[in-house]
Structure 1
Amino acid sequence: MSINAPNWYTIQYDQKVNHLLQSEGFLLRGTTQAPVNVVGNTLQFFFIGRGEATEMSQAIEMITPANLDKTTKDVTMKDYQFAEFIRHGEVERISVEFKSAIQEAGSMALGRKFDRVILQAMDNEDTAIDTIGDGSAAISPIDVSTGKAEINALGMMKMNEFYLPVPSMSWEQLKLYKVFNNSDYTGPDLNFKNGVEAKTWNGVHFFQLPDEAFTSPSAGVVDTYLWNKRTVGFGSNYAIKTNITYENLFTAWLYNSTMSGAAKVLQTEGVKRLRIKINDPLTIDGGA
């Protein structure tokens, strides 16, 4: 049997609680395409193929339809959870700041999972996504421009919205390139995630992610991704749900937060993997 926690936010002591250094998560929010439909536990993304215009016949005759390929891509959502027990009696002794910190820790944990689910969807595509670089060199603007050009070569240039999260060392290296700071190439500050260092350069939205968010194929090397927003999807059938109850069987309060969601690479051609080295010393303009 469980009951709701009474007066969870009642202030008892005026003291501060500090979190260990960690990512707040949800840094990739707004960088993906939303599903068209949610059916139960399934996200649905709809696609329509390409058709070609043909010369009209001078005679009255049966037309030839374009036969556009109409498809649906589905992905099944999973549930994710953060739970923490608080011993009987502790609720009366700890401060409201401590209680709030527990809730914040849960939100950050689910936020990091949110980011990882999106990147994991790209990791799972393996060789279906082209890789730029072999991990022997730090990131450079040339790598990014190459990836963007290869995606743009396929079309849809009026609908492009590119994103590229990078590790902290790569972010600092990019800032040491003069061209990266050239006002001719930079755009306005991003607003999709306040508080995170971000920059728009050459039509690509760059921003920092902690190293732990990325897959590392070998020591000192990480894989990150450049993608067109329309080619990677994410959705959920409910926002974060939180319950705080007293559990008699454990003689403790249980803080329990859950989240549902899934991500899918909708078009691998619109994603490029950048395999970059992150343990080289920083250099001005890449040492040029």
Structure 2
Amino acid sequence: MSLNTIPAWSETKYSQDVVKAFASSGFILSGTYMPPISFTGSKWVWKTSGLLVAQEFKRGHEAKVQNQGRGTIEVDMKTWQVFTEIHKKDLNQMSVNEYDQTVEDGAEAMGRKADEIIMAELNVGAAGVTAGTTSTTNGMTIGFALGVIAQAQRQFKRWKGDVFCPLPSQAWNQMMGYKQFSSADYVEGLPMANMTDTRFWNGVKWMLAPDELFPVVSGQNIDCFLWSRKALGFATNEAMETTAQWDNRKSVTTVNQTMGGVPKTLRQEGMVRFRINNDAAIVPN
């Protein structure tokens, strides 16, 4: 391979492999949100509508106009970057392991950032909808989980199964101690099922998530979130742009990976925050 073909070759190769890796690792919250309906300028747009209530018809009376809540929610796109250097004279001298690791690292960094900013948005969006009880002594018990679900059912009105709840490792294993939860169905057809442990129980798609995604309130107490898919929006350009360039002065190939992504609360009433002790004992039941 001649020197002047390196940038063109590496750009194509990296673009194909990084997008594939991103789709299969590092983005466990993929599919838990509503995508935008349009993109205008630098803004992503979601449509919203209010609550309709049937009114009694009375002859000769003027009809009452409803659904004044129709509108849009807009958010400016943000771009995230991963920049790496490959210190090799030529990319075709890299071993398979070195190349694969470089691709995987960049893809998973983007995936972790997507998970991080989505959870940060939930932390803001669910600020006013904290569950009525906390479990700062016993952690994630089956009874407490049922209480959180009951609150969600009251808030969401319609319980159709598009409800998600990631848990940190301690809480996940506390729940796995209950046969009702551990023997529940796996979540089929969602990207997260290929990236982490999942269960479908009592109308909720539960998933094991990295501990660092959960806000620490105080001591061992952390906040978790349960939400309806229609309550949360996330916009992404769905493809990672990659530019690979040979730097002749430094004898390295630089790889610049960028991807757009931004979350947005769409319906606060479709979110529930609950607080647990993340250090409570795991007791099989």
Give the alignment's TM-score, normalised by structure 1. Answer: 0.82
CA distance in 2, matches of 1:52, 1:168: 43
Partner of 1:190: 188
Evaluate the alpha carbon distance shift between residue 89 and residue 207 of structure 1 in structure 2; reply closer, same or farther with a 3 A threshold. same
What is the CA-CA distance between 1:238 and the residue it aligns to? Answer: 4.5
Q: What is the count of residue pairs matched by the alignment? A: 267
Evaluate the alpha carbon distance shift between residue 249 and residue 215 of structure 1 in structure 2; reply closer, same or farther with a 3 A threshold. farther
What is the CA-CA distance between 1:178 and the residue it aligns to? Answer: 3.1
Partner of 2:37: 36
Question: Alpha-carbon deviations, 1:76-114, whole Å to 9, x = none?
Answer: 221101111122527465312201210111001100001
**RMSD, aligned CA:** 2.6
Evaluate the alpha carbon distance shift between residue 158 and residue 217 of structure 1 in structure 2; reply closer, same or farther with a 3 A threshold. closer
Partner of 2:20: none
CA distance in 2, matches of 1:62, 1:170: 55
Residues 43 and 77, structure 1, Cα contact 8 Å, conserved in 2? yes
What is the CA-CA distance between 1:158 and the residue it aligns to? Answer: 5.0
Question: Alpha-carbon deviations, 1:40-68, whole Å to 9, x = none?
Answer: 32121111112222222234x54333253
Match status 1:267 vs 2:267: yes
CA distance in 2, matches of 1:188, 1:150: 24
Residues 82 and 109, structure 1, Cα contact 8 Å, conserved in 2? yes
Give the secondary structure class of the aligned counterpart of 1:255. Answer: strand
126-135 vs 111-120, which moves further: 126-135
CA distance in 2, matches of 1:219, 1:67: 45
**Runs of 5+ unmatched residues, structure 2:** 12-23
**Runs of 5+ unmatched residues, structure 1:** 10-22
Partner of 2:138: 137
Letter in 1 for 2:188: L
Residues 190 and 199, structure 1, Cα contact 8 Å, conserved in 2? no
Residues 88 and 251, structure 1, Cα contact 8 Å, conserved in 2? yes
What is the CA-CA distance between 1:3 and the residue it aligns to? Answer: 7.4
Match status 1:101 vs 2:108: no
Partner of 1:252: 252
Letter in 1 for 2:240: I
126-135 vs 199-208, which moves further: 126-135
Partner of 1:168: 169
Letter in 2 for 1:145: L
Partner of 2:115: 115
Residues 244 and 253, structure 2, Cα contact 8 Å, conserved in 1? yes
Letter in 2 for 1:5: P
% identical equivalent positions: 25
CA distance in 1, matches of 2:67, 2:222: 42
CA distance in 1, matches of 2:129, 2:281: 29
Partner of 1:80: 80
Evaluate the alpha carbon distance shift between residue 69 and residue 7 of structure 1 in structure 2; reply closer, same or farther with a 3 A threshold. closer
Question: Alpha-carbon deviations, 1:155-182, whole Å to 9, x = none?
Answer: 5415441101111121111011133246
Partner of 1:20: none
Query: Hey, which of these two has a bigger chunk of helix by percent?
Result: 2
What is the CA-CA distance between 1:280 and the residue it aligns to? Answer: 2.7
243-252 vs 38-47, which moves further: 243-252
Give the secondary structure class of the aligned counterpart of 1:123. Answer: helix
Partner of 1:17: none
114-123 vs 50-59, which moves further: 50-59
What is the CA-CA distance between 1:250 and the residue it aligns to? Answer: 4.1
Give the secondary structure class of the aligned counterpart of 1:284. Answer: coil
CA distance in 2, matches of 1:111, 1:190: 20
CA distance in 1, matches of 2:140, 2:70: 38
Evaluate the alpha carbon distance shift between residue 97 and residue 8 of structure 1 in structure 2; reply closer, same or farther with a 3 A threshold. farther
Evaluate the alpha carbon distance shift between residue 69 and residue 210 of structure 1 in structure 2; reply closer, same or farther with a 3 A threshold. closer
Give the secondary structure class of the aligned counterpart of 1:128. Answer: coil
CA distance in 1, matches of 2:10, 2:173: 42
